[in-house]
A and B are shown apart, each in its own frame.
Chain A
Amino acid sequence: MADHAIQTRNLTKRYGQLTAVDNLNLTIEYGEVFGLLGPNGAGKTTAISMLCTIANPTSGTALVNGYDILKQAHEVRESIGIVFQDPSLDDRLTAMENLELHGRLYDLSGARARERAGEVLELVGLKERARALVKTFSGGMKRRLELARGLMHQPKVLFLDEPTLGLDPQTREHIWEYVEDLVKKGDITVVLTTHYMEEAEKLSSRVAIIDHGKVQVVDTPSNLKSALEGDVITVQCSSVDHLSERLKTESGVTNVRVDGGALRLSVVNGEKFIPRLVEIGHEAGVIVESISLRRPTLHDVFLHYTGREFRSEEAETMGFARAWARRGMGH
């Protein structure tokens, strides 16, 4: 076994003027579930394509399971399993036929391939659909089958690129369970890209936040949250601008933002600050309508390092888009 499951060395990919991945240096240890987070276009999928030997880096390289992605592509391919963001099954074949082909491509003997196919189908609860054509499967079943296929040859490193995108909550929970079970059983390293902070937080031992092709920060989710210094307090009041000016100079307040008509503060020892907040509002002649306090989530960490919301969510509500535009001007 090599020293690290994955080690990238100034991994870079340029498309003309655009630098999709910019001197990426990441080290991922064996047995980790490593989350790669970043806004759309941050370079996650490009980085994974290079690690999976589908795309060649413009410069730099990486070791996967100790093998160089440029010089030992074949050994890298033997070491990894992948669940792609987009479907990659042959839907004119049955589930079993897809798995049998996979077994052949990964040097499993016919008997061993059938045995493993049975095991992984059992794992994802598709055993009774083994002989059905994949085109009769729902989206969730297809994704489960892809996961089963990615595990069939017992890879050292499993890449999951947005594994639950577009799935219903039940299927998402199931996929999380499979991944957690896998990691418990050991001997596998998982690299996960996701848009869902909840998913990253639930599954990952460490996460890297990537933006503009570069690593912004790497740590455990709990360290990242405590590094944010303080709790998040959201205030609804009669004059947001007035109150925000006043709070910027207050000790213990590390960050003040106007977000969708509300005031969002980062405050050390949030509970103790609430009485003080009411007092300040009173002094400033501002009517405080509501105050809520919560611990920082990975979502806050993400916003802190990337400075903007996900594009998919931006597009979801106009209100959000406007809030985002305002925040953008404020910076």
Chain B
Amino acid sequence: MSELAKVYGIWHREFLRFIREKSRIASALAMPLLWLLVFGSGLRFASAAVGGNYQAFLYPGILGMTLLFTSVFSGISVIWDREFGFLKEILVAPVARWAIVAGKALGGSTAALIQALILLPLAPLLGVALPLERLPVLLIFMVLIALGLTSLGLLIASMMGSMEGFNLIMGFAIQPMFFLSGALFPLSSGPEWLKYISYINPFTYGVDVLRWCVFTDFQTLLPVGVEMAIVAAFAVAMVLAGSYTFGRKK
């Protein structure tokens, strides 16, 4: 399968760029730490709704947030490839369009996953005891969530065309996805209208599965198997839509 070598090539390039951008890694870590250590400890004892430790409740939400922002950003970075001309090098090469999308999606997911993995050792400090038996599921779902969201970023980038719409997309699509996902507060404590919006947000189920992986007694919104299926279906749909949109020629 020669296409796999090409997927590897594109993935490897993304990886090299990621590990060389120390400032990006640092700034991407600062956000979750601020949420967890400052925001989280400030509200630690102020929230009765979560039944105790708010910092612990917040932890899987922040794992999800890290995946969300890093993945979408990595996907959208294909616009830079286009503006700096590098994309042309890949588009004129004898590479199947799906292989380009796969390479980019896997590269972005790897970056997101590394960012999230750095947060795992923090769990005990926040009073979270990660259940070992659910660790494999946690890892698999972090990969799935990252894949789906990186592909979403690629899809947005293919439709956007230039960097001008970037802030618009971040402000009106990605930030709302984060705030309406239950990452910061239990959805059961919010008003009805908020719940309905959250239910159509696929990221809600990603965060819910992550929280289920972290707390053995956590009650998911839907049966956990259904939520996992939704997350997986979202990832597959985004990879397909990304490949299709990306492959179109002008």
Chain A residues close to B by CB (< 8 Å): 52-56, 74-75, 77-78, 80, 82, 84, 86-93, 97, 100-102, 104-107, 149
Contacts and interface: CB of A to CB of B under 8 A. Distances in A.
Given A82-B88, A89-B86, 4 more contacts: A75-B94, A90-B17, A104-B5, A105-B90
Contacts of A87: 84-85
Contacts of B89: 88-89, 102, 149
A90 B86 contact: yes
A97 B91 CA distance: 18
Interface size class of B (residues with CB under 8 A): 20 to 34
Contacts of A93: 13, 16-17
A94 to B, nearest CB: 9
B92 A55 contact: no
Contacts of B16: 92-93, 97
B237 to A, nearest CB: 26
Contacts of A104: 5-6, 8-9
Interface of B: 2, 5-6, 8-10, 12-13, 16-17, 20-21, 84-96, 249-250
Given A101-B9, A101-B13, A104-B6, A78 B94 contact: yes
A105 B88 contact: no
Contacts of A86: 85
Contacts of B88: 54, 82, 84, 88
Nearest to A80: B92
A293 B10 CA distance: 58
A260 B13 CA distance: 54
A102 B93 CA distance: 8
Contact of B2 (A55, A88, A101, A107): A107
Contacts of B17: 90, 92-93
Given A55-B249, A92-B17, A93-B16, A105 B95 contact: yes
Among A75, A88, A106: residue with most chain B CB under 10 A: A88
B244 to A, nearest CB: 16
A88 B94 contact: no
Contact of B86 (A52, A77, A88): A88
A50 B100 CA distance: 20
A101 B16 CA distance: 11
A53 B84 CA distance: 19
Contact of B94 (A74, A82, A84, A89): A74
A77 B8 contact: no
Among A52, A82, A92: residue with most chain B CB under 10 A: A92
A106 B94 contact: yes
B93 A105 contact: yes
Nearest to B250: A55
B6 A105 contact: yes
Nearest to A105: B93
B76 to A, nearest CB: 17
B95 to A, nearest CB: 5
B108 to A, nearest CB: 15
B91 to A, nearest CB: 6
Contact of B91 (A54, A80, A90, A92): A54
Given A54-B91, A54-B92, A56-B249, A105 B9 contact: yes
A101 B249 CA distance: 23
Contacts of A78: 94
Contacts of B87: 88
Contacts of A89: 85-86, 89
B146 to A, nearest CB: 22
Contacts of A74: 94, 96
A92 B92 contact: no
A110 B189 CA distance: 57
A268 B223 CA distance: 93
Contacts of A53: 92, 249
A74 B87 CA distance: 17
Nearest to A89: B86
Among A82, A90, A100, A102: residue with most chain B CB under 10 A: A90
A104 B90 CA distance: 11
B92 A107 contact: no
Nearest to A56: B249
A78 B94 CA distance: 6
9 contacts: A55-B250, A84-B88, A87-B84, A88-B89, A90-B17, A91-B84, A104-B5, A105-B9, A107-B5
